[in-house]
Amino acid sequence: MRIFDTYVQKLKYKVLTELARQTWVGNDAFSVFNDIANQVVKKGEPTMSCCIYKDRAIVAERIRIALGGKKEDHNVIQVIDIACDECPVAGHVVTDLCRGCVAHACVDACKLGAITVDSHQKAEIDKSKCVECGKCAKSCPYSAIANFKRPCEKACKVDAISMAPDGVAQIDSEKCIECGACVYKCPFGATLDVSSITDIIKTIVDSDNNKNYHVHAIVAPAIAGQFQYAKAGQLISAIRELGFYAVEEVALGADIVAYKEAQELQEKGFLTSSCCPAFVKYIKMKFPQLAEHISHNLSPMAETGKLIKEQDPDAKIVFIGPCTAKKGEVRKPEVHQYVDYVMTFEELQAMIDSKDIAVDQLPETELDTATYYGRVFARTGGLSEAVTEAVREQKAAAEAAKVDAPDGAGASGAVASGEAGTNSGKPASGDAGTNPGKPASGDGACDGDSTDSKPFVFDPIVCDGIDSCKTALLRASKGLLPNNFIEGMVCTDGCIGGAACLSHGNADKRAIDNYGKKATHKEIRDVL
């Protein structure tokens, strides 16, 4: 069965697997650099470039990034310069559609003299003079001038990638939100996320079978749809086989976050989610006026790590998920105190195979600490669904407290007041701003007073992908968004669309929903 979507992912896996094998046996990666490169790129025909020697040079760079990357570059996503030289020069180019017409409208349109015609009257663009304004393309009656963008540039929706004078991609760390879209889309694998796989293995080994300290793995709910050659319970057993003391589901942290965000929203009136680190970074970068409205709650990953470390202070926590942006999140002091390392699904597959673990032959280990709502955080709309449920439960708790209170006494012990959750229980979906209603007032905040005189209504907008996020945030910044909660998922489809997923597709959505339905806990408050 095919495990990966692309051959680039498979190449990445091969490098990580060999690196992991060497680390397990105690070899220093730098001392066996050439051995790893020779193992990945064997003698014979080249598979990536012009010759096996360049192939091995590219692999060597992959190893360096897997070991932490360029020390002067603190970005999670880095560029392999030697692999980034196969794409044609980006920008406006004259195609074969050029008819060599007499009008030469393109020449007239260019005020910099960048366009000339050859002896056959065909247009030519002098790249040393061209500023990529596009006026020539607009003027051509045959649409013979096309604007070519490299795949990494197309994938990057925040314009963090540009081409250096030598034609190699460069990433602006000030703009990059570390979503990894360029990593998944580059057909040459020239962009790559920094790995901690060797540090994780060393942490496991140094624990001396968890005698010195306990190494916990916390797994994102998106894992349920990713390893299609085995059952989810078998995969949990495989993670235990790697030497982890215990495996916990981050869906429990998601349940906690949903409950807390429901409370925070009712207190503040307007909120954006805090679960997607790329979304949070995007707000702070592009819409700083809305930064105060970002939920102050930890992400499900950090919340789960916090819960474990409260019970086991010396524990080492490794998050396993589909997100490259989590590697940036874990570097934040407020998060790193609870989570030590982040490992992607791609890296997990490499680590499993480095130990020759036959996952499909293992017994199942079931996890059952979360609800349906915590588990469906893995897909777009799941967070809003969970907060909807949390608001309903908090309303029920408030009503119960009123009934149980002595005559004349209020419900001071209730979690939430007012008629919370009086919408239909279904989150809003589709493009931002499609839900009719009154515009928000002020600097993007909706009037969501949760007093008894004005019942609170949860009205979320679900943003699927960064373009949808941008639209919602733009409207909120202008006070035009009728919704009072923005669920932002930078990756299309949510976490199951993450750059480090093994696969991307509708089957993953179905798997997540089925995984959620298997939860025996029916209400969020049951697991808190």
pLDDT in tens, 382-428: 999 999 999 999 999 988 888 876 665 554 434 433 333 333 333 34
Confidence at residue 265, expressed as pLDDT on a 0 to 100 scale: 95
pLDDT at 176 over 90: yes
pLDDT digits (tens, 9 = 90+) for 279-307: 999 999 999 999 999 999 999 999 999 99
Q: What is the pLDDT of residues 44-96, one digit of tens each?
A: 777 777 788 888 888 999 999 999 888 788 899 999 999 987 676 678 999 99
Q: Are 297 and 257 in contact (CB under 8 A)?
A: yes
Q: CB under 8 Å to 246, separation ≥6 — which residues?
A: 214, 216, 217, 240
Instruction: Tell me how crowded residue 209 is: count the other CB atoms within 10 A of its CB.
Output: 10
Structure tokens at 375: 């588990």
Q: What φ, ψ does residue 93 adopt, rounded to 5°?
A: -135, 150
Q: What is the pLDDT of residue 409?
A: 54
How far separated are the first and last CA of the chain, in Å rounded?
A: 39
% the chain with pLDDT above 70: 90
Q: What is the DSSP letter of 50?
A: S
Mean pLDDT of all residues in the chain? 88
pLDDT at position 513 is: 94
What pLDDT is stored for residue 519 in this prediction? Answer: 96
Kindly tell me if the per-residue pLDDT of 10 is higher than 50.
yes
Mean pLDDT of 244-261: 98
- The pLDDT of residue 1: 61
pLDDT of residue 478: 96
Among 203-212, 431-440, 514-523, the least confident range: 431-440
Amino acid, single-letter form, for residue 237: S
Whether 152 has a pLDDT exceeding 90, the answer reads yes
Rounded to whole angstroms, how far apart are CA atoms 181 and 339?
Answer: 24
Average pLDDT over residues 333-351: 97
107-121, 219-233, 436-450: least confident range: 436-450
The yes-or-no verdict on residue 160 having pLDDT over 90 is yes
Contacts of residue 187, defined as CB under 8 A and 6 or more positions apart, other chains included, come to 6, 8, 151
Same CATH topology for 72-87+156-195 and 91-148? yes
DSSP for 110-164, please give it. -TTS-EEE-TTS-EEE-TTT-----HHHHH-TT--EEEE--HHHHH-TT--EEE-
- The least confident of 21-35, 128-142, 363-377, 397-411 is 397-411
- Residue 453 has a pLDDT of 55
pLDDT at site 407: 62
Domain covering 91-148 in this structure, CATH number? 3.30.70.20
| CATH match of 72-87+156-195 with 3.90.1150.10 | no
- Locate the domains of the chain by residue range: 1-67, 72-87+156-195, 91-148, 246-526
Range of lowest pLDDT (143-152, 331-340, 360-369, 420-429):
420-429
pTM for the complete prediction?
A: 0.85
Answer with the residue of higher pLDDT: 440 or 236: 236
- The rounded distance, in Å, linking the Cα atoms of 192 and 378 is 23
